[in-house]
């Protein structure tokens, strides 16, 4: 999953950005409203974590501009203001959730995770496909009752595909959701991750769940034998 953090505080950029990355998210960071708006308009993020008080363009103005242009990315507002009127104003401007500073990192991570699930139409902490189970909250995977240990990128890719069962997902879409702007993945990196992921899933049950649609991308589905 890919997150945009728009926050002018260097301390919060580092603290929140590190926490999100350690939780498995690809993170882009912006320090002002103009740059944040440009990034939000030109990339497909799962969630935008947006401070209200920003240089060049405030967060509410940024949010309103996104909504006017039809961008439906889920937005978590960060603010030091804690009145009911402030919260209502933020939500009416198009925010999906609201978090008052100072906040606990655990709460922010939980809210981001909830918004990610909402973006894929899911309210559950557990994804299942045939005998595959993914505990989204704990980031654990099992198949046929057997626990499977995955590297962070392998887990991210598996969860992303599992959120879109039966849909063909292109390699460009996968790269856009697994890597931030400052990352430069090699041309064969997705194939390499998929190969390792398929091997690990196959050790528990050899029936494939991830299929290649040549020239189009990849699809996750349980096909009948």
Domain with CATH 3.40.50.2300 in the chain: 2-119
Q: Nearest CA to 50 among 222, 137, 71, 163?
A: 71
| Distance, CA of 96 to CA of 216 (rounded, Å) | 33
Phi, psi of 132 (to 5 degrees): -95, 130
What is the model's pLDDT at position 81?
73
* pLDDT tens digits, one per residue of 25-71: 889 999 999 999 999 998 889 999 999 999 999 999 999 999 999 88
For residues 164 and 120, is the Cβ–Cβ distance under 8 A? Answer: yes
* pLDDT tens digits, one per residue of 13-26: 999 999 999 888 88
What is the model's pLDDT at position 211?
94
Domain with CATH 1.10.10.10 in the chain: 126-220
What is the model's pLDDT at position 9?
94
What is the model's pLDDT at position 172?
87
What is the model's pLDDT at position 185?
62
Beta strands in 31-139 (DSSP E): 47-51, 74-79, 97-100, 126-129, 132-135
What integer best gives the mean pLDDT of the chain?
Answer: 88
> What CATH number belongs to 2-119?
3.40.50.2300
Q: Nearest CA to 189 among 215, 161, 197, 169?
A: 197
Question: How would DSSP label each residue in 118-168?
Answer: HHTT---SEEEETTEEEETTTTEEEETTEEE---HHHHHHHHHHHTSTT--
pTM confidence score: 0.76
Angle of the 171-178 helix axis to the 152-162 helix axis, nearest 10: 120
Q: Give long-range contacts, CB 8 A cutoff, 24+ apart: 174-179.
A: 174/217, 174/218, 176/2, 176/43, 176/44, 177/1, 177/2, 177/26, 177/44, 177/46, 178/2, 178/26, 178/153, 179/2, 179/26
* Fold of the 126-220 domain: Arc Repressor Mutant, subunit A (1.10.10)
What is the model's pLDDT at position 210?
94
Q: Which residues of the chain have pLDDT under 70?
A: 82-83, 121-124, 182-187, 224-225
């Amino acid at each position: 999953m890919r997150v945009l953090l728009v926050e002018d505080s260097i301390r919060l950029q580092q603290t929140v950005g590190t926490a999100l990355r350690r939780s498995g998210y690809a993170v882009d960071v912006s320090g002002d409203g103009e740059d944040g708006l440009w990034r939000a308009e030109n990339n497909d993020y799962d969630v935008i974590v947006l401070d209200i008080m920003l240089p060049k363009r405030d967060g509410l103005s940024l949010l309103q501009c996104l909504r006017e242009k039809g961008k439906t990315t889920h937005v978590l507002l960060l603010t030091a203001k804690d009145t009911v009127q402030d919260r209502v104003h933020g939500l009416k401007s198009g925010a999906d959730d609201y978090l008052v500073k100072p906040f606990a990192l655990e709460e922010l991570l939980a809210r981001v995770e909830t918004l990610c699930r909402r973006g894929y139409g899911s309210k559950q902490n557990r994804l299942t496909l045939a005998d595959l189970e993914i505990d989204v909250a704990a980031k654990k995977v099992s198949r046929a009752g057997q626990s499977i240990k995955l590297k962070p990128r392998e887990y991210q890719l598996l969860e992303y595909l599992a959120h879109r069962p039966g849909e063909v997902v292109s390699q460009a879409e996968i790269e856009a959701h697994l890597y931030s702007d400052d990352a430069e993945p090699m041309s064969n990196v997705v194939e390499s991750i998929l190969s390792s992921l398929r091997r690990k899933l196959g050790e528990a049950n050899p029936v494939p769940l991830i299929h290649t649609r040549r020239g189009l991308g990849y699809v996750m589905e349980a096909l009948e034998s």
